Amino acid sequence: MQKDSLLEMRGIYKTFPGVKALQNVDFTLKEGEIHALMGENGAGKSTLIKVLTGVHVKDGGEIFVRGRENAVHINSPKQAQALGISTVYQEISLCPNLSVAENIFLARGKGIGVNWRNMNKKADELLKELGINVRGSQQLASCSIAVQQMVAIARAVDMECQVLILDEPTSSLDESEVAKLFVLMRKLKERGVGIIFVTHFLDQVYEVCDKITVLRDGKLVGEYEIEKLPRLQLVSKMLGKELDDMADIKNDSPTFKKTDDKPVYEGEGLCSSEGISPFDFKIHKGEINGFTGLLGSGRSECVRTIFGADKVTGGSVKIDGEPVKITKPRQAMKYGIAYLPEDRKRDGIVGDLSVKDNIILALQIKTGFFRPISKAKALEYANKYIDLLDIKTASVNTPIKSLSGGNQQKVILARWLLTEPKYLILDEPTRGIDVGTKVDIQKLMLKLASEGMSVTFISSETDEMLRTCSRLLVMRDRKLVGELTGDQLNQNTIMATIAGGDTNGEQ
């Protein structure tokens, strides 16, 4: 173990049934360092964090912590804490109805007596030292989310932690709150604390971090000094696309000739309660376009706004040139819009219901309360789509939750295709499903578009989008920052636009 290291993880392995979550991953954290851990979904960031905090036990590899001679075994969160490893999660895990001081010292006193005055005094000192503007006696719930976050950090720091893990701490903070958090992080850095910072926001990484470790598909891509890794390269490493690969980008990128004057869907100044900047969007008959950007960049929020899935807070919509109002999914469905959500489990499936019921659900709701689809008809629909999409299920009456992820996805796709939409929105339809199915879904999209359906497609895999979309809208930090068509549709331009900042990617 190197002298200035606080933490060294060597050759970490972790396997879950069917998934190699971590394979031979190294990670080093030095004293007084803010170290960003980057990677797209499923890269292994959270597994690595959980191995470190004792939530998961590693299958192989060694972990060294300063102050211990030998490799340590972390089998529980409590052990991790004893080794000086503290975590502040995205969701605040404090008790809102207790005071700030109580939260900081909760469950840590020796014996059963509590010296209240002493505790409040000590809390005030600590908070002052860290520059957190709150009194120890204040009730936690009365503080803003940012302050609560910082109190959680103060609690971690006071437990004499040397390694502080911040897991997406900024996702629910506004800009000025983020700035305050960064001040605190720099203060801790001066005290020699090593911070592991997990975030999706590129700007924040470049603002506050010293080093970046990139993971992809459970493997280590590399560890980089921040100055030596321009944004563009970071994005390319996260997505796993070498910049040189751009040469072989196919020339047959989809082109689209519009056949109508009025777009099928046209929105202006759309925004929702999920905090995306107002954006304009339109799609023509038979067109396939897509939203791209890193995870958390706001691409899903855009399509959710179009469908009325989130609370729509502004903007105007035209369907076939006619102004209409879409604030609820029901209204969107009425105008022939269908939406396959990103989070299949939370928003897509109705777990205990059968495959058949899941397939007919949207159509049934569209047909209405007093016109139930007959059993025979429902069976016919279900069997038709089970054949058409090659859904692997024991029977039409099997609960959808017992199907594999890819097959669940196909059932939800079937549900929406059954409603014969004019405009189909697919948010990450190919995530977590096998390659064959992915290709099937892409082919299906192209076929539907050739039959006149409009499709908006979101995928974390850029080449999938390049293969299908004739127009890409690029999102960064919840803003629509570019629109790419024709020659611009290649990996390099997309990555440059996603990265923004120090590149000339702004189109």
Nearest alpha carbon to residue 240 among 491, 450, 499, 445: 491
341 contacts another protein (rule: CB under 8 A): yes
Beta bridge partners of 281: 267
Residue among 154 and 340 whose Cβ is closer to another protein: 340
Per DSSP (E only), the strands in 168-228 are: 194-198, 211-216, 219-225
DSSP class per residue in 215-227: EETTEEEEEEEGG
Residue among 45 and 344 whose Cβ is closer to another protein: 344
CB of 295 to another protein, least distance (A): 20
Distance CA 7, CA 2 (A): 9
CB of 98 to another protein, least distance (A): 23
| Segment 144 to 183, residues that bind another protein, using CB under 8 A | none
Look up residue 179 and give its two tokens: 């700035």
**Helix or strand (DSSP H, E) at 306:** helix 299-307
Beta bridge partners of 43: none
Residue among 9 and 411 whose Cβ is closer to another protein: 411
Dihedral sign computed on CA atoms, order 138, 143, 147, 150: positive
Contacts (Cβ under 8 Å, ≥6 apart) of 358: 349, 350, 400, 411, 412, 415
CB of 249 to another protein, least distance (A): 35
Dihedral sign computed on CA atoms, order 214, 218, 221, 223: positive
CB of 365 to another protein, least distance (A): 4
Contact 293, 475 (CB under 8 A): yes
301 contacts another protein (rule: CB under 8 A): no
- Name the segment binding another protein (CB under 8 A); options: 179-187, 237-245, 319-327, 346-354: 346-354
Look up residue 314 and give its two tokens: 């502004």
CB of 359 to another protein, least distance (A): 12
- Name the segment binding another protein (CB under 8 A); options: 57-65, 252-260, 369-377, 465-473: 369-377
CB of 397 to another protein, least distance (A): 5
Question: Tokens 């971690």 identify what position?
Answer: 156
123 contacts another protein (rule: CB under 8 A): no
394 contacts another protein (rule: CB under 8 A): yes
Beta bridge partners of 196: 35, 165
397 contacts another protein (rule: CB under 8 A): yes
Nearest alpha carbon to residue 55 among 64, 44, 46: 46
How many residues bind another protein (CB under 8 A)? The answer is 35
Residue among 296 and 329 whose Cβ is closer to another protein: 329
Residue among 69 and 369 whose Cβ is closer to another protein: 369
Amino acid sitting at position 11: G
402 contacts another protein (rule: CB under 8 A): no
H helical segments located in 16-165:
45-52, 77-82, 100-105, 116-129, 145-158
- The backbone region for 458, taken as left when phi is positive above 0, alpha when psi lies in -120 to 50, beta otherwise, is beta
381 contacts another protein (rule: CB under 8 A): no
CB of 354 to another protein, least distance (A): 9
Beta bridge partners of 198: 37, 167
CB of 425 to another protein, least distance (A): 11
CB-side neighbour CA atoms (13 Å) of 406 = 15
- Name the segment binding another protein (CB under 8 A); options: 81-89, 236-244, 270-278, 348-356: 348-356
Residue among 248 and 370 whose Cβ is closer to another protein: 370
CB of 61 to another protein, least distance (A): 36
Q: Residue 127 — φ and ψ, nearest 5°?
A: -65, -40
- Name the segment binding another protein (CB under 8 A); options: 9-17, 47-55, 352-360, 464-472: 352-360
Contacts (Cβ under 8 Å, ≥6 apart) of 275: 301, 478
Contact 225, 49 (CB under 8 A): no
372 contacts another protein (rule: CB under 8 A): yes
CB of 366 to another protein, least distance (A): 7
387 contacts another protein (rule: CB under 8 A): no
Nearest alpha carbon to residue 159 among 230, 238, 78, 222: 78
Q: Which of 243, 246, 249, 353 binds another protein (CB under 8 A)?
A: 353
325 contacts another protein (rule: CB under 8 A): no
324 contacts another protein (rule: CB under 8 A): no
Q: Which of 55, 295, 324, 350 binds another protein (CB under 8 A)?
A: 350
Residue among 268 and 310 whose Cβ is closer to another protein: 310
**Contacts with another protein, residue ranges (CB under 8 A):** 307, 309, 328-330, 333, 339, 341, 346-353, 356-357, 361-362, 364-366, 368-372, 375, 379, 394-397, 415
